[in-house]
């Protein structure tokens, strides 16, 4: 019998679609379940204690319901705070999402990089550790933005967003001392690659954006190498922890998520 256990992607909202997309491209036959904790959205303004308690409990319920072969915490905030708690609680392979500081430093010529995430992510000791390990010879400037998360959600709903709002967010990086020398920005929230084109257009000079999505896809492929997949992938499932917004349905369908459920 074919192994129909899905890959389960988890985020506070729709940001994790930026991780699901390269994974779907690499593993087109994989059954997919995408979970947006819309009842807990947004994570970036919540306390560490709230996230550390909420995420393992919720993923425990989801693992029981969907029996995934692997769970991807497609959220930098949840990963930097709750990843060890989830791994301790569940007997399922867990892949986390962390800021792509290492590839950013490899790409930087000026040795000044920006880390753009949520407020909760950019202040984490995990980011300090990544910086010390991989960017010791760089100036690393950080900025947390809740507004950019909302802009990404709005774009997925089909709303028109204001370019001035993206410029205001980026000023939090480029306006810092040395910010004029930034040549690479880490999108350290999975929502942000969804608005990368808008960010690039709003930047005061040409800059490269990097994120962890492609690397996560390769990690999933490695961990599932040799496993069986259905001959034809079933329609993907999008799960919300609160009433789903009907305006998101067309965008979800473009990611192969044709069924909508509420937890």
- 237's tokens: 């499932």
Asked about 138 being catalytic, the answer comes back as no
Please give the Cα distance from 26 to 221 (Å, whole number).
7
Please give the Cα distance from 160 to 41 (Å, whole number).
21
Please give the Cα distance from 182 to 90 (Å, whole number).
40
User: Nearest CA to 15 among 40, 44, 46, 36?
Assistant: 36
Answer yes or no: are the C-beta atoms of 259 and 6 closer than 8 Å. no
**What is the number of alpha carbons within 13 Å of residue 39 lying toward its C-beta?**
11
- 121's tokens: 């992510």
What stretches of the chain show up as alpha helix (H) in DSSP?
17-26, 48-66, 76-89, 101-107, 119-122, 125-134, 146-157, 163-174, 196-202, 213-223, 249-254
Q: Which of 100, 148, 173, 189 is catalytic?
A: 189
Region of residue 193 (left: phi > 0; alpha: psi -120 to 50; beta: else): alpha
Q: Which of 19, 75, 127, 216 is catalytic?
A: 75
Q: Which residues are catalytic?
A: 75, 189
């Amino acid at each position: 019998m074919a192994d129909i256990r899905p890959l389960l992607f988890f985020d506070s909202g729709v940001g994790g679609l930026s991780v699901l997309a390269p994974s779907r491209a690499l593993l087109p036959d994989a059954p997919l379940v995408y979970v947006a904790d819309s009842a807990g959205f947004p994570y970036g303004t919540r306390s560490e204690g709230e996230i550390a308690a909420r995420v393992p409990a919720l993923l425990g319920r989801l693992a029981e319901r969907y029996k995934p072969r692997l769970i991807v915490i497609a959220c930098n905030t949840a990963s930097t705070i709750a990843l060890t708690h989830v791994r301790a609680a569940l007997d399922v392979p867990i892949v986390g999402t962390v800021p792509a500081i290492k590839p950013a430093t490899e790409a930087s010529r000026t040795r000044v990089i920006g880390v753009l995430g949520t407020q909760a992510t950019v202040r984490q000791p995990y980011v300090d550790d990544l910086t010390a390990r991989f960017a010791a010879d760089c100036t690393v400037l950080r900025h947390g933005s809740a507004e950019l998360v909302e802009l990404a959600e709005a774009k997925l709903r089909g709303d028109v967003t204001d370019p001035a709002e993206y410029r205001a967010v980026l000023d939090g990086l480029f306006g810092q001392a040395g910010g004029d020398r930034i040549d690479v920005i880490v999108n350290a929230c999975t929502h942000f690659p969804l608005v990368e084109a808008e960010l690039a257009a709003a930047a005061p000079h040409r800059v490269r954006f990097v994120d962890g999505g492609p690397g996560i896809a390769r990690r999933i492929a490695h961990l599932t190498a040799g496993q069986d997949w259905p001959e034809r992938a079933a329609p993907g499932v999008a799960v919300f922890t609160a009433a789903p917004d009907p305006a998101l349905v067309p965008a979800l369908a473009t990611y192969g998520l044709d069924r909508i459920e509420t937890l």
